[in-house]
Amino acid sequence: MYNSKQIKTPSYNRLLRRSFATPATNSNFSVHPEIAARTPPYGKLIKNLTEVRRVLGTQGLTLAEKILYSHLDNVEDALGGRNGKVRGEAYLKLKVDRVAMQDASAQMALLQFMTCGLGKTAVPASIHCDHMIVGENGADVDLPRSIEGNKEVFDFLGSAAKKFGIQFWAPGSGIIHQIVLENYAAPGLMMLGTDSREQSLTLNRWPADTPNGGGLGAIAIGVGGADAVDALVDAPWELRAPKILGVRLEGELSGWATPKDVILNLAGQLTVRNITGLEWKLSVARAWLQFVTWERVYPPSDLTPAPNAQPSEVGATTSLFPFTSKMISYLNSTRRAPIAEAAEGTNKSHNFLRADTNAIYDQVITINLSELEPHINGPFTPDLSTPLSKFKDAVKENEWPEQLSAGLIGSCTNSSYQDMLRAEDLVKQAEAAGLKPKVDFFVTPGSEQIRATLERDETLDVFGRAGGTVLANACGPCIGQWKRNDISKGDTNAILTSYNRNFRARNDGNSQTMNFLASPEIVTAMIYSGDMSFNPITDTLPTPSGQSFKFSAPSGSELPSQGFEPGNLAFVPSNSAPSPSTPVVVSPTSSRLALLEPFEPFGAVDLKGLKVLLKIKGKCTTDHISAAGSWLKYKGHLENISNNTLIGAMNAETGEVNKVHDANGDILSIPDLARRWKAQGVSWLVVAENNYGEGSAREHAALQPRYLGGKVILAKSFARIHEANLKKQGVVPLTFADGADYDSIGSCDSVDTVGLYDMLVSGGDGEVFLDVTRKTDGRRHRIPVKHTFSKDQAGFVLAGSALNLLSKRAAIA
């Protein structure tokens, strides 16, 4: 079991030294006992795919469709009788193969899983401690401090992982997506990752990073914790069948262009901001992309490196690549030769891991790699894409800072061996010319394996000689954990990073830091100038000896000739057998963690005497319902985080934010009035306008109202994902049959439901009404309402929550 003392006692340096004493061929590491558990169930998938073809007829399938549909719980139910109209319309109930959770989002996922009473997870799962590690002085100092500061969270995660048989990757082991790539991703696999926007404060609909597994041909999708729990308890996970964007890559990458530039370019193309500057087009593109996967079409040759950045930055569900010999090489080099063999055999016999030649895409974009030039994207959005040759002009036109203040390379998706070797090549060129970086330089290895390999091959020494600070194998500055001492809050400055995201205040908490994204190579070259207008391909730098220096295009091998060095073996989880006697460590005095109690069931009658807590005016996103920022530290403590419930919502009757009136005239904050009514045994509802709950699929936005006594949300319309999340937590989402009725109900009105119980019992059939008694004059009137309950969802509400129902079913089974 993970114990924070184990990390504290031997210093991080000692742990690192241990890696040198351990040969890479150590049998504990090279022959992983769970290799079978990491191989996709190809036999079952092919059987399902045969059924998919029977149901859909002769239509050609894209790669995304083959993998997604072969994971359907019931092919006929999902795809039958649709006359081929599946994409963008059918809801797919999918049985995923694996779940990965990062430390911030794993807390609530595990707390919910624990309420099910199951002894182990239904599918293999892993936890990765990467989001809470500070980047400041370097790994040796930052890691022990961060472990100490987050001890209670890591102890909880470690103990729960041991109890339920989840593989636990301790702080310092690496970033979730790189570890998944090195250990779990495999061609044809389908997995969920809880790396959601609520931690990362991005604008995209789905998180960026889980799709990293697509580089190895896996369908890997980012979700919220409640979705992950579905998979952990063996419930199908639901997704609207995505539209498919094909990306045809022609030619070959060469010179300075990198896989990173493919996505930097694609991000610009997909949102068209840089072409038209019209925001509405951006919105249209985003909306469409919400349900899109993209896949690479017809690789020009197996020699092109798989891009290691993904288009989910612009809203795609996920992305993936067809099977190539590159994947075989990578699987072999990461000690998974049996998986490579199985994938190759399955692909040969069933063409499973490539699109059919007659597959049809909703859109195809062609990128000529031979003509691709490096791009720099930003600031403040990943889709403002500028070719390097035009960046100098863009800096002037936009009055961006002329000087760079720091360069940062690495992250979960851009610290591959080749990325780092090409960056090293540039540092060596500059060193030979007598040059030193002009600005601070930070390196974030994506995993212990990458770090140890770079240390063995002396790449880290080269970065160190250039004054580079090697941060812990963790997210660090990419998730706002950069403790920066060179800039004050509010100072306008520019940084270049090879990270995935660049929204305001994302890296250092300073909203005036303009964060530009580029390949590790461009970031590394530009720190030697410090001038934002410097073009390392064409421009020269003066050397100390008075000569003129120009970089040559960087080079670096894809895979290490001596193989990957595993590094500190203490980080490698030994096995995933559950240990039921392990106590889960949650301090009763903790302000960050609290065990959950299952929600009470619905009861056998309609709801009577609900009171209107608040009538909301205008937009009410999941940010308004459950604010992020400093509240994120309470994600594992439902009682404490509930103090932010609806604090961003505007009271339609007063125009005030986070102020409501009790029936006796008392003015309280929204969470305070909810708590008061909960203590009085009064259940409540909220009245809202259109698209209630838009934004990220933040489960807390459904959990918190439920926890505080909310039973119904009555809106003009809902964001679909949030509507589904409410039902999962046992809250009833209803919409006005006539939007004008919004005006006929107000705060503190009393509401009885009519027909709701019968509708739930009948699995979603039947009409529902609300009988409203006005607080102002005591008059009573009836409002017809609509709902979208399926049979399953009705069962969730009757049981009190989806987890209650699933645990009941699991207990029976």
Q: Which residues pair with 169 in a beta bridge?
A: 128
DSSP state of 599: P
Q: Return the number of the residue (132 or 685) whose C-beta is nearest ligand SF4.
A: 132
- Choices 85-93, 175-183, 242-250, 368-376; region in contact with ligand SF4 by CB under 6 A: 175-183
Nearest approach, Cβ of residue 175 and ligand SF4 (Å):
5
Cα→Cα distances 474→129, 148, 153, 740, 755, Å? 8, 15, 16, 51, 52
Which residue, 133 or 270, is less far from ligand SF4 as judged by CB? 133
* Cβ 178 to ligand SF4 shortest distance, Å: 8
Minimal CA–CA distance to 187: which of 223, 219, 210? 219
Quick one: 178 or 258, whose CB is closer to ligand SF4? 178
d(CA 745, CA 791): 29
Q: Which amino acid is at 563?
A: G
* Closer residue to ligand SF4 (CB): 133 or 685: 133
Scanning residues 207 to 236, which ones bind ligand SF4 (CB under 6 A)? 208-209
- Rounded to a whole number of angstroms, the minimum distance from the CB of residue 357 to ligand SF4 is 35
Closest to 445 in 3D by CA, of 484, 483, 498, 485: 498
CA neighbor of 496 nearest in space, from 510, 511, 515: 515
> Do 39 and 472 meet the contact criterion of CB atoms below 8 Å apart?
no
Residue 625 tokens, joined: 């319902």
Q: Are 80 and 56 in contact (CB under 8 A)?
A: no
In DSSP terms, which residues pair with 94 in a beta bridge?
72, 237
Catalytically annotated residues: 130-131, 195, 501, 696, 698
Strand, coil or helix: 250 = strand
Name the E strands within 287-437.
292-297, 318-320, 363-368, 375-377, 385-387, 404-410
CB of 570 to ligand SF4, least distance (A): 22
Query: Distance between CA 391 and CA 343 in Å, rounded?
Result: 43
Pairing of strands 684-688, 610-615: parallel
Distance separating alpha carbons of residues 697 and 435, to the nearest angstrom: 48
User: In the chain, what's the furthest Cα-to-Cα distance?
Assistant: 90
Total number of residues that touch ligand SF4 (CB under 6 A): 16
Closest CB to ligand SF4 among 446 and 800? 446
Cα 424 off chain centre by:
30
Least distance to ligand SF4 from the beta carbon of 504, Å? 15
R_g (Cα) of the chain, nearest Å: 27
CB of residue 344 vs ligand SF4: minimum separation in angstroms? 29
CB of 162 closer than 8 Å to CB of 442: no
Which CB, 7 or 475, lies closer to ligand SF4?
475
Report the residue count for the chain: 813
| Residues between 445 and 504 that touch ligand SF4 (CB under 6 A) | 475, 478-479, 499-501
Q: Which of residues 742-771 bind ligand SF4 (CB under 6 A)?
A: none
CB of 221 to ligand SF4, least distance (A): 14
**Tokens found for residue 268:** 């610009």
Helix (H) or strand (E) holding 715: strand 710-715
Binding flags for ligand SF4, 124-143, as an x/- string (CB under 6 A): ------x-------------
Residue of 176, 359, 596, 798 interacting with ligand SF4 (CB under 6 A): 176
Determine the Cα–Cα distance for residues 666 and 672; give it in Å rounded to an integer.
11
What is the nearest approach in angstroms of ligand SF4 to the Cβ of residue 492? 23
Contacting range for ligand SF4; rule: CB under 6 A; set: 113-121, 173-181, 332-340, 756-764: 173-181
378-401 burial: b if 16+ Cβ within 10 Å, else e? bbbbbbbbbbbeebbebbeeeebb
Q: Which is nearer to ligand SF4, 200 or 274 (CB)?
A: 200
Candidates 172-180, 668-676, 688-696, 738-746 — which segment interacts with ligand SF4 by CB under 6 A? 172-180
Using the contact rule CB under 6 A, the part of the chain among 28-36, 40-48, 170-178, 608-616 near ligand SF4 is 170-178
Nearer to ligand SF4, 476 or 648 (CB): 476
Nearest-5° angle of CA 147, CA 470, CA 326?
A: 105
CB 756 → ligand SF4: shortest distance, Å?
A: 41
Q: How far apart are CA 134 and CA 136, in angstroms?
A: 6
Q: Which of 215, 179, 176 is nearest to 309 (CA)?
A: 215
Beta carbon nearer to ligand SF4, 201 or 797 = 201
Please identify, using beta-carbon distances, which residue of 172 and 236 lies nearer to ligand SF4: 172
Single residue of 129, 406, 412, 751 touching ligand SF4 by CB under 6 A: 412
Does position 175 interact with ligand SF4 (CB under 6 A)? The reply is yes
Amino acid letter, 167: Q
CA 68 to chain centre: 19
Which residues lie closer than 8 Å to 511 by C-beta, 6 or more apart?
490, 504, 505
Cβ nearer to ligand SF4, comparing 130 with 142? 130
Sign of CA dihedral 262, 263, 269, 270: positive
Q: Which is nearer to ligand SF4, 181 or 650 (CB)?
A: 181
For tokens 């070259």, name the residue: 525
Alpha carbon 323 to chain centroid, angstroms: 24
CB of 138 to ligand SF4, least distance (A): 17
Q: CA 677, CA 685: separation in Å to the nearest integer? A: 11
Instruction: Tell me the closest approach of the beta carbon of residue 288 to ligand SF4, in angstroms.
Output: 23
Considering only residues 782 to 811 of the shown chain, the ones binding ligand SF4 according to CB under 6 A are none
Least Å from the CB of residue 215 to ligand SF4:
14
User: In the complex, which residues of this chain contact ligand SF4 (CB under 6 A)?
Assistant: 130, 175-177, 195, 200, 208-209, 411-412, 475, 478-479, 499-501
